[in-house]
Structure 1
Amino acid sequence: MAIPDFIRELRASAGRQLLFLPGVSAVVLDDEGRILLGRRADTGRWALIGGIPDPGEQPADAAVREVYEETAVRAVPERLLLVQTQAPVRYPNGDVCQFMDISFRCRAPGGQRPRVNDDESLDVAWFAPDALPPLDEFALTRIARAAGSGDGPAWFETTVPDPRTGT
Structure 2
Amino acid sequence: MPVPEFVRELRRHVGHAPLSLTGVVAVILDGRGRVLLTHRADTRRWALLGGILEPGEQPADAVVREAMEETGVRVLPERLAAVMAYDRLTVYPNGDQARYLALVFRCRHLGGEARVNDDESLDVRWFPLDELPDDVTADEREKIRLCLADTDRTWFALSAITPGMS
Give the TM-score taking structure 2 as reference length: 0.93
User: Match of 1:63?
Assistant: 63
Amino acid at match of 1:142: K
Gaps of at least 5 residues in structure 1 are: none
Q: Please report how far the alpha carbon of residue 146 of structure 1 lies from its aligned counterpart in structure 2 after TM superposition.
A: 1.3
What's the secondary structure of 2:74's corresponding residue? coil
The aligned runs of 1:72-151 (5 Å cut-off) are 72-86=72-86, 87-110=88-111, 112-133=112-133, 134-149=135-150, 151=151
Question: CA offsets, 1:45-98, max 9 Å, x none?
Answer: 111000011111000110111011000010100000100111221111111100
Partners in 1 of 2:138 and 2:3 — Cα distance? 24
* Alignment correspondent of 1:155: 155
**Inter-partner Cα distance in structure 2 for 1:22 and 1:148:** 23
**Structure 1: which 4+ aligned runs deviate by more than 2 Å?**
none
Q: How far 1:33 sits from its partner (Å)?
A: 1.6
SS in 2 for 1:3: coil
Counterpart AA for 1:78: E
State whether residues 116 and 123 of structure 1, in contact with CA within 8 Å, keep that contact through their aligned partners in structure 2. yes
Structure 2: any 5+ residue segments left out of the alignment?
A: none
Q: Does 1:13 align with 2:13?
A: yes
Give per-residue Cα distances to partners, 1:112-139, cap 9 Å, x unaligned.
4200000111110100001101211221
Relative to the length of structure 1, the TM-score reads 0.93
Structure 1, residues 138-166: CA drift from partner, whole Å, max 9, x if none?
Answer: 211110011111x33100012122632xx
Instruction: For 1:33-48, list aligned pairs within 5 A.
Output: 33-48=33-48
For these two proteins, the number of residue pairs brought into alignment is: 162
The one-letter code matched in structure 2 to 1:70 is: E
Question: What is the alpha-carbon distance in structure 1 between the residues aligned to residue 117 and residue 157 of structure 2?
Answer: 34
Query: What is the match of residue 54 of structure 1?
Result: 54
**RMSD, aligned CA:** 1.2
User: Is residue 79–residue 152 contact of structure 2 (8 Å, CA) maintained in 1?
Assistant: no
